[in-house]
Structure 1
Amino acid sequence: MNRLALSVSSAIARVTESALGPYQTAVIRIGFSATWLLFLLREFPHREELYGPDGPWNWDLAQQLIAVNHAFTALMWSDSGGWFEFVYVLAVLASFLLLLGWRTRTMSVLFMLGVLSLQNRSVFVGDGGDNVLHLMSVYLVFTRCGQVWSLDARRARWVRSEGAARARGERIADRVGVVLWAVLGFALVAVTAGGRFDGVDPTVPVIVWLVWLALAVWWVVGRRAKSAEPRILLDVVGNIVHNGALFVIMAEACLIYATAGWYKIQGSRWQDGTAVYYPLHLDYFSPWPGLADLLSSSGTLVMLVTYGTVVVQVAFPFTLFNRRVKNVLLAAMMTEHAVIAVVLGLPFFSLAMIAADSVFLPTSFLRRLGDWVARARARVVARRGRTPLPGPRAPENPEPTHANSPA
């Protein structure tokens, strides 16, 4: 009984005292923001046909669909071309800044709004990876995804480095954060008062308002509280929200693979081992016909890949209890998605799935990866004859990077 009580208390302390998985949340932040950014940049010449008011899925059709599903999209606030261009550029900018980890809490909200606005405007644009990105953009808002490998983390280390630098850094950080918070708050009040949120699912407006108010409370407590208890309480709440969101992200990834695997089992082509053959010979999914012919020329290879895909997807959620088996299947799934990106011409679907898989990568591997990137960057800078800045390696127990900023 005592062991059980100790285990429970230890688990509670672990969930409340720290934001778990700092490297995992950082890598999925980088992965999903990079995926969306690359997609927006690639489709920039075709943006009006995909999401613009004069595209095939025109303004009237979009209005009829929004009236039924009540989905949020800022693109339905105006049918002008200028507003569309503003939203598209804002989505690009938010993705880039979230990738860099600048004001990650605020940028994660703008990133979510950009993803939802464009995807809900034209629901028929996508290849499956858009559904994953859609969900994960919402979950990222609740995570402390800037603890490591971010400009926020670098700024936090700089603020803590020396007394004089700390004071100077806090003034700069607070000025930027307060201005950003005030500008976005004014826009939020104007949008709400203008009835732009009327008739849509209240989930998105509630999330945006809660984050905006939470940042204000965090800043006031950090600046004005005379004791440490309010700050500790906010840290505990933030850790619980972060850890809960991280658990949901992991559960979502497992659910995606489990449902995909079990649905495949019910298909006759998956049962007879020929399912992989057919997409290789569809013109839409054959950017490299010669490579597709080479892979499908062996019936044994097609059968092994078909059955292997089902086995890996069905078994993966159960392998989380065994680290070694989980890592093997994780490598297999990431390799499979890389092959899909090349052979079937679905790079953004594959990037989204690899980003989702990254939440299960071991911390030791991610730390080594970060050290390798830091050394490679230092070598590149040294070759250019410049003194390298401190590398991105984070401390053993990263501290939250949003504590002293309202944005």
Structure 2
Amino acid sequence: MSTAEQGPTAAPPARGTAYAAVARALQRVTSTSFGPYQSAVIRIGFAGTWLVFLLRELPHRGELYGPGAPWSWDLARQLIAGNSAFSALMWSDSRVWFETVYAVAVLSSLLLMLGWRTRTLSAVFMVGVLSLQNRSVFLGDGGDNVIHIMAIYLVFTRCGQVWSLDARRAARAARDGGSCARLKDRTGPVLWVVLGAVLAVGAATGPGHVQLWTQALLWGAWAVQGLWWAVNRYAPGSHERSLLDVLAHLLHNAALVVIAVEVCFIYSTAGWYKIQGTRWEDGTALFYPLKLDYFTPWPWLSGVLAASSLFVLVFTYGTVMVQVAFPFTLFNRRVKNVLLVGMMLEHAGIAVLLGLPFFSLAMITADAVFLPTGFLLWLGARIAAGRARLRGRGGGGLPGQRHEAGDQPRTLVG
């Protein structure tokens, strides 16, 4: 048989293999929410960082975001009218409304960090972050910008699969019988009705120049939450329930990829901009912030480090190289993990040396999307063991932790 005759019979198996690989990939993406531990760390990290910040600034909240702020409510309203940003604080200039929004921001951060009703609380958390930050836009730094962006992305993730009160409640419901637990759920519907009423009041009394995408996102999240509860209650095993699961998996996986890409953009742009600066080129850039009073919480330590030319040179060049190189190391897991540790240590150093703890916490949390699943499982087991020792027991685990033999959750980024 000639080669021409053999060719047509050899091509279909190759195409069939490619089609099968694509089908398997699509099946995985639509049936699995990747990175459950990474998304849980992101949830805990950003909610915890924002919570600590709000508690730290509790005595000064009025001067930062409230009626006593130098950036007055009228000025904020004029700015928001121009940029069409969203802030629930623009619904009213009363002190009572400000205190209510601030209290809700604190409470939602705490509950999201614990993983209680994460689908709903992630949206409430986003509203709290946007409302306060957009009220006084000139107070933020790079860390606030990261929290601002990630608060929006968190709404689309299934960040309560593990290490959450939601996961604990789901495990308890599975033991007691899922249908019975769904019938007993009263908190979800009540929370849904209350939030719907708040959104309706805001739409009626708030400024009309709010961006349409913000309204669509909030009302869309509210409607989807109601649909999800209704299908779980009345048609738990239906095709509609399966379709909602597929859509949830797709949104979660897409959001996780966007978070990873966002982190890469942050580092790549920061690194390439540094290359264009003369102080970074000659290796002296680190010297100057170590000599600024505003960034020297430990003057004696900053003075010792600034006096070392070798330290300044190594860390100036090292910062640029790590930031520029990191996005290109994602294809090599070992190199990526080494640079990831380096960047986290760098941010820890920034928190101590330059007095920027919240910026550092936000960036370390963003870096956590790339942490290996094996390391997070090990870390969770160590935390669970430590908690068990403190309680005087020999066992236990984190809420919703999945550590059975052979259970290795898939991840896009670990």
**Normalization by structure 1: what TM-score?**
0.93
Q: Who is 1:134 aligned against? A: 148
Residue number among 173, 178, 182 corresponding to 2:193 in the alignment: 182
SS of the equivalent of 1:313 reads: helix
Change (3 A) 1:318 1:53: same
Q: Which moved more, 1:65-74 or 1:134-143?
A: 65-74
Q: Who is 1:119 aligned against? A: 133
TM superposition shift of 1:223: 2.4
TM superposition shift of 1:388: 6.9
Deviations 1:150-178 (A, max 9, x none): 00000000000134xx4553344x21111
User: What is the CA RMSD across the aligned residues, in angstroms?
Assistant: 1.7
Asked if 1 retains the 8 angstrom alpha-carbon contact of 2:157 and 2:253, the reply is: yes
Q: Who is 1:292 aligned against? A: 302
Q: Who is 1:255 aligned against? A: 265
TM superposition shift of 1:221: 1.8
TM superposition shift of 1:276: 0.6
Asked if 1 retains the 8 angstrom alpha-carbon contact of 2:286 and 2:312, the reply is: yes
Change (3 A) 1:353 1:332: same
- Find the aligned partners of 2:95 and 2:375 in 1 and give their Cα distance: 46
Q: Who is 2:34 aligned against? A: 20
Asked if 2 retains the 8 angstrom alpha-carbon contact of 1:147 and 1:398, the reply is: no
Q: Who is 1:103 aligned against? A: 117
**Normalization by structure 2: what TM-score?**
0.91
Q: Who is 2:291 aligned against? A: 281
Residue number among 308, 322, 341 corresponding to 1:312 in the alignment: 322
- Find the aligned partners of 1:136 and 1:219 in 2 and give their Cα distance: 25
What is the 5 A alignment of 1:25-36?
Answer: 25-36=39-50
Asked if 2 retains the 8 angstrom alpha-carbon contact of 1:127 and 1:346, the reply is: no
Residue number among 213, 230, 243 corresponding to 2:223 in the alignment: 213
Q: Who is 1:88 aligned against? A: 102
- Find the aligned partners of 1:176 and 1:349 in 2 and give their Cα distance: 35
- The amino acid that maps onto 2:314 is L
- The amino acid that maps onto 1:367 is L
- Find the aligned partners of 1:328 and 1:72 in 2 and give their Cα distance: 39
- Find the aligned partners of 1:277 and 1:324 in 2 and give their Cα distance: 31
Q: Who is 1:170 aligned against? A: 182
Q: Who is 1:394 aligned against? A: 402
- Find the aligned partners of 1:298 and 1:281 in 2 and give their Cα distance: 13
Change (3 A) 1:287 1:227: closer
Residue number among 369, 387, 394 corresponding to 1:359 in the alignment: 369
- Find the aligned partners of 1:108 and 1:203 in 2 and give their Cα distance: 17
- Find the aligned partners of 1:41 and 1:151 in 2 and give their Cα distance: 22
Residue number among 48, 70, 75 corresponding to 1:61 in the alignment: 75
TM superposition shift of 1:324: 0.2
- The amino acid that maps onto 1:159 is A
- The amino acid that maps onto 2:39 is T
TM superposition shift of 1:232: 1.0
- Find the aligned partners of 1:295 and 1:226 in 2 and give their Cα distance: 62
Q: Who is 2:8 aligned against? A: none
Q: Who is 1:402 aligned against? A: none
- Find the aligned partners of 2:340 and 2:162 in 1 and give their Cα distance: 23
Deviations 1:2-40 (A, max 9, x none): 443233222211211111000000000000000000000
Asked if 2 retains the 8 angstrom alpha-carbon contact of 1:48 and 1:55, the reply is: yes
Q: Who is 1:403 aligned against? A: none
Point out the structure with max Rg over C-alpha. Answer: 2
State the number of aligned residues: 392
Residue number among 319, 329, 333 corresponding to 2:339 in the alignment: 329
